[in-house]
Amino acid sequence: MHEHASARRAIDTMIRSGDLEGLLREAEALHGHRCPMLALGVKAGQYALTQLFPEGEVHGVTAIIEALNCFADGIQVVTGCTLGNGGLMVKDLGKTAVTVARPDGAALRLLVRPDFRERLFFKYPTVRPLFEKVVLQGTADHEERHRFEHMWSAMARRELDTPLEEQFLIKSLKIKAPHAHGRPSGVVCSQCGEGVAESRIRVKDGQPFCLACAGESFFLLTGEGITSAPGMELV
């Protein structure tokens, strides 16, 4: 990611100027709605980039998220690290945390404080019963869901102004700079005829097979995390 890249120019300007509201709008377009955890992902990404790249030009950044939730979308939008461009990695620990790293391995890990949700409901007590009905139980009616969405969005905006240290535990790290970029699909499966990354090819009787055709298990990334899927084709 480079400062002069036209696709990132507006976001880079928001990062440097500290325009968290503008970054939240960008994240909302990807995520589909505003929520406090999306706002925290925006704040964590903006803080990490300004600390790791004080000169302004961001390049070769990697983000390692530890859970698949709303927080992750805020991280992707602000850092520009995605699964598709190879800059986003997933360490499936179920923790709302991110490690943002420079190419030289200098990094910051931001962990959402364990008591964040309880502190949030203490500040906004009227939202707790709606959260339980809408998110946890799925029993809310249309009016309750509408009220919850309005309140949840307003809370997200207000959390942008909350001091960072009240939301995160922050640690400076030095890590081995990860290389997440994979090779293109350069091998053709001898059974299905589809292009496959070389690292996912299995050779049987001298012929290349994709994992599905070879009947081998593979990893499946869903909202529940990373699991091992049985050796069958997903339709």
207 lies in which domain range? 187-229
CA 76 to CA 41: how far, in whole Å?
8
pLDDT at 35 over 80: yes
- The string of pLDDT tens digits covering residues 43-52 is 999 999 999 9
pLDDT band with cut points at 50, 70 and 90 for residue 222:
confident
β-strand partners of 89? 64
Inside any domain, residue 149: no
Number of residues written out for the chain? 235
170 and 213 together in one domain: no
Number of structural domains in the chain: 2
Environment class of 33 (CB within 10 Å of its CB; exposed 0-12, middle 13-18, buried 19+)? exposed
29 and 111 together in one domain: yes
DSSP string of 142-166, one letter each residue: HHHHHHHHHHHHHHHHHHTTS-GGG
Inside any domain, residue 141: no
User: What pLDDT does 1 receive?
Assistant: 45
167 and 195 together in one domain: no
Q: Do the strands 88-90 and 97-101 form a parallel or antiparallel pair, or are they unpaired? A: unpaired
CB 178 within 8 A of CB 107: no
Residue 86, phi-psi category: left (phi > 0), alpha (psi -120 to 50), beta (remainder): left
Q: How far is CA 226 from CA 27, 147, 185, 200, 221, in A?
A: 24, 33, 22, 17, 5
CATH number at residue 69: 3.30.1330.130
53 and 106 together in one domain: yes
pLDDT at 57 over 90: no
224 and 165 together in one domain: no
User: What pLDDT does 29 receive?
Assistant: 95
pLDDT at 182 over 60: no
Longest Cα–Cα distance of the chain, Å, equals: 65
pLDDT at 228 over 60: yes
Q: What is the pTM of this model?
A: 0.85
- The string of pLDDT tens digits covering residues 83-129 is 888 899 999 999 999 999 999 999 999 999 999 999 999 999 999 99
Last residue of a domain, which of 152, 174, 196? Answer: 174
- The string of pLDDT tens digits covering residues 6-25 is 678 899 999 999 999 999 99
